[in-house]
Amino acid sequence: MRTQVAVIGAGPAGLLLSHLLHLQGIESVVLESRDRDYVEHRQRAGLLEQGTTDVLRESGAGERLDRVGLVHHGVELRFGGAGHRIPLTDLTGRTVTVYAQTEIVKDLVAKRLADGGDVRFGTEVLAVDPSAPSVTYRSGGETRTLDCDYIAGCDGFHGVCRPAVPGGRTFSREYPFAWLGILADVAPSTDELIYAQHDRGFALHSLRSPKVSRLYLQVPPDEDLAAWSDARIWDELATRFATDDGWKLHEGPITDRSITPMRSFVTEPMRHDRLFLAGDAGHIVPPTGAKGLNLAVSDVIVLARALAERYASGSEALLDGYSDAVLRRVWRAEHFSYWMTHLLHTDPAASDFERRMQRAHLDYVVSSEAASASLAENYVGLPVTWPSGD
């Protein structure tokens, strides 16, 4: 079998890339190890930069996003018993939108299948050959080979594509905390996200819909999820979100819970021969800055444009500049996520001096328009970085 672009992984990055290539008349096959039900229901990020929502709309995949996505114009930093709103739209002219990654995947799967796209679930990729580009995979008990012009590695941190880039250099950082995340069938207690810094640890109040709340607690990375009863979770959330004006947290049935470790990771380069990495295959950010999904989208926007130029004109100039271009934006997002994480989390090893420095920094961010604007500019998303010469 043969196609123009073999896409490994049916997460948002792989599906969106396949969709954008289709709009340019470029054939692709998407290979995904998990079944469709698993892919469409795994819980992931849910905050979209305006650039992400723009490309979904412009590509024709934004109908349900526009109908049920929740557009936000600000975000709250809460500490010392008080909330401080950062007016994102006033400071940047842009917005963010709450729309779960699960919903994006459902939309893109439906779009690709409706357009006659070749998306193969339950297909285990065994190996990729970046030089004589091909993918070896197992499906239905048979081992087969898919020949192609290019391979897009959108198969995440544990996939086969990143190890196929020889001589790569990796950069990583492990954080001394994790997030205990829950979904609850209860109306959100807030109209905009709340990032709370507390002596007992960080907490985040997000939302999924007018009837579903998404909340997080900072916990140790080796925390036992079984140690957290529903009552304990709600009590701890109420403590960390408490304000001097008596703000109340709505409680309800918890339908999902998990613990997510926090780390930063980047691999360089993100290309070898005919193999290109995108999304978590090339980089991971701590979730504090809500950059993971949005970085994956910006990667495939650049890659789709570079591939379209290659098939339209024969020029590989944009493909040659892909890795350097996306890594510039990746490192900017890594820094922002690192900064937000240290600004808001309670380091168990921090000295009293370091904690007072953290509070001083928070006071500055919410009292200085310039500091608030810097946070807002990064939070709503910086422009896509294109290959030089484009």
Question: Could you confirm whether 175 is annotated as catalytic?
Answer: no
Of the residues 198, 205, 291, 345, only one is catalytic, namely 291
Assess whether 287 carries a catalytic annotation. Answer: yes
Q: Is 379 noted as a catalytic residue in this protein?
A: yes
Determine which one of 287, 322, 345, 387 is catalytic: 287
Among 72, 205, 272, 345, the one annotated catalytic: 72
Q: Which of 150, 216, 322, 379 is catalytic?
A: 379
Our answer to whether residue 72 is catalytic in this structure is: yes
Q: Report phi then psi at 86, rounded to 5.
A: -100, 110
One of 137, 150, 195, 216 is an active-site residue; which one?
A: 195
Q: For this structure, is 195 an active site residue? A: yes
Length of the chain: 390
**What is Dmax (Cα atoms) for the chain?**
65
Known catalytic residues are: 72, 195, 287, 291, 379
